[in-house]
Structure 1
Amino acid sequence: MFSFFSIVLIVVVALIVFNLPKSKSSDNSQSNKSSGYSKWIGGGLGWAFGGPIGALLGYTFGSMFEKGGSARYENQPTRQGDFNISLLVLSAAMMKADGAVKKSELDYVKQFLLRNFGKEAADEYLLMLREILKQDIQLQEVASQIGRFMDYSSRLQLMHYLFGIAGSDAQLNSVELNVLNSIAGYLGVYPADFASIKAMFVKETDSAYKILEVSPEATDEELKKAYRDMAIKYHPDKVSHLGEEVRAAAEDKFKQVTDAYEQIKKQRGLK
């Protein structure tokens, strides 16, 4: 029996073969570009093959991606490939938010990819990111597509990652915050969850309370309940269907929830 990876790889090769241009030079160029990403495609794409993201990828990487039309992919569950390509596309949008790609932002993305996917995969992803950065990204369209098809826990993980990019230079300016707020809206992230993630990166006197989505006036019992609810919402197992790499990345967000609770407990003298 063929493994899932083998079947996907066979389909990708077929797509490449049947969509090859007539020109020999173009043929070699397209083949080289496609084969360079075949291993990444093997991770599995569902709904990201179609719609605005599929169109962007089609213009960027060639005809193995469809230019528009997501109807045939509407019932596809979110796969690891969908999450990863969403991460790359929104990374590019975030990096271009204030008009220039900063070295600190590129370094953050590189280290994130290395830490979570290993050098070989990270190198491929960075090549893809550089190609995507050359494109005009229709932020509302691509983010809305992600919001329609991606499960909520995965969208929260994306927002946490994007805040990391924006804050990689040790400051979050108003332009970046506005873009993050817009992305959250397009993704369908609730304002309270946006404020919670923001508080993990923009430290204020009540940041710990904002992370737990509770008022400083909350009772000890309300605080405990809020922590239990947030621990469930942000538990790494919520994104385990996207692969161990994404689950590991989610542990940082979960740790910040726990740290916020411990900080408030210490302030209140709770055990």
Structure 2
Amino acid sequence: MIKWFAAIVGYSFFRFPGALLGFIVGSLIDSVTSGKSKTIKQTFATKQQVTPRDFELNLLSLSSIVIKADGHINQTELDYVRQYFVNAYGKDRANATFRTFNEIIKNRQVNAARICMVINQHTRYATRLQILHFLFGIANADGQVSTAEANEIERIAGFLRINFKDFESIKAMFFRTGDHYYKILEIEKSASDAEIKKAYRTMAKKYHPDKLQQMDDAYKKGAEEKFRAVQEAYEQIRKERGFS
């Protein structure tokens, strides 16, 4: 099926953000093109039908906001987005999509609030978290996430109704500061050793692969990546503080 092919290709090039976005758009294509009774609503718990083209354009519009956040268009970030579409859907479709994307980048004022309202209606919370991963991946394509880019993604996260702690945890994986390991664990740097251990146990249990056997492979890969980030954060804090 298209969704699994797209997820595998996406993961090969962009790890979990690519896998999930490939799975999302591929599933939409399967739903639109198949004659089966399974609907987009059943696949994504949506309120009404959308097309793959709608989702792509909304995603590209949000991508354009991030790319233009620091006042100029970075070719590396453009290439990151384009390469995802080339590897997931082929050069011809990517070229057609990017003709529209170039118009969005150069000429359109994008209404993030309106776009996110549509996305909220058609996606689950877990999917919106992975869209956030993708946006941070774009911002990080040139080697670092600028403050302006992080601020724009935070604004988008608000429109996507992302919990602030979830936002900070994802941000900390890309936007490294003196306390980013603590943010990954969703605690303050002033937390006690006991609180750190408790936070680690909570996060490790939440994202442990054994707890996610019923989820789609795309989601499981993302949870495994998050689980590794949680482990790394805990080990770094443990070494810094010197507790066992």
Do the structures match in fold with TM over 0.5?
yes
**CA gap 1:179/1:200 in 2 versus in 1, 3 angstroms:** same
CA distance in 1, matches of 2:221, 2:207: 12
Contact 1:44 1:81 in 2 (8 A): no
Contact 1:157 1:250 in 2 (8 A): no
Contact 1:184 1:194 in 2 (8 A): yes
**CA gap 1:212/1:100 in 2 versus in 1, 3 angstroms:** same
Matched, 1:43 2:30: yes
In the alignment of these two chains, the number of paired residues is 205
TM-score normalised according to structure 2 size? 0.65
Matched, 1:262 2:231: no
**CA gap 1:222/1:138 in 2 versus in 1, 3 angstroms:** same
Mean CA deviation greater in 191-200 or 226-235: 226-235
Paired residue for 1:155?
A: 128
**CA gap 1:250/1:127 in 2 versus in 1, 3 angstroms:** farther
Q: 1:121 aligns with which of 52, 65, 89?
A: 89
Deviation at 1:251, TM superposition (A): 4.3
Larger RCO (alpha carbons 8 Å, 6+ apart): 2
Deviation at 1:171, TM superposition (A): 3.2
Question: What SS class does the counterpart of residue 204 from structure 1 fall into?
Answer: coil
Q: How does 1:101-116 map to 2 (within 5 A)?
A: 101-112=73-84
TM-score normalised according to structure 1 size? 0.60
CA distance in 2, matches of 1:84, 1:75: 17
Which residue identity does 2:74 align to in structure 1?
K
CA distance in 1, matches of 2:214, 2:72: 32
Deviation at 1:187, TM superposition (A): 0.4
CA distance in 2, matches of 1:40, 1:150: 12
Q: 2:167 aligns with which of 179, 188, 194?
A: 194
Paired residue for 1:132?
A: 101
**CA gap 1:4/1:165 in 2 versus in 1, 3 angstroms:** closer
CA distance in 2, matches of 1:79, 1:226: 40
Deviation at 1:94, TM superposition (A): 2.2
**CA gap 1:39/1:205 in 2 versus in 1, 3 angstroms:** closer
Deviation at 1:122, TM superposition (A): 5.1
Structure 2: any 5+ residue segments left out of the alignment? 4-24, 33-39
Deviation at 1:183, TM superposition (A): 0.2
Structure 1: any 5+ residue segments left out of the alignment? 6-37, 48-72
**CA gap 1:240/1:79 in 2 versus in 1, 3 angstroms:** farther
Deviation at 1:93, TM superposition (A): 3.2
Question: What SS class does the counterpart of residue 148 from structure 2 fall into?
Answer: helix
CA distance in 2, matches of 1:151, 1:176: 24
Q: 2:193 aligns with which of 186, 197, 220?
A: 220
Identity of aligned residues (%): 38
CA distance in 1, matches of 2:57, 2:213: 19
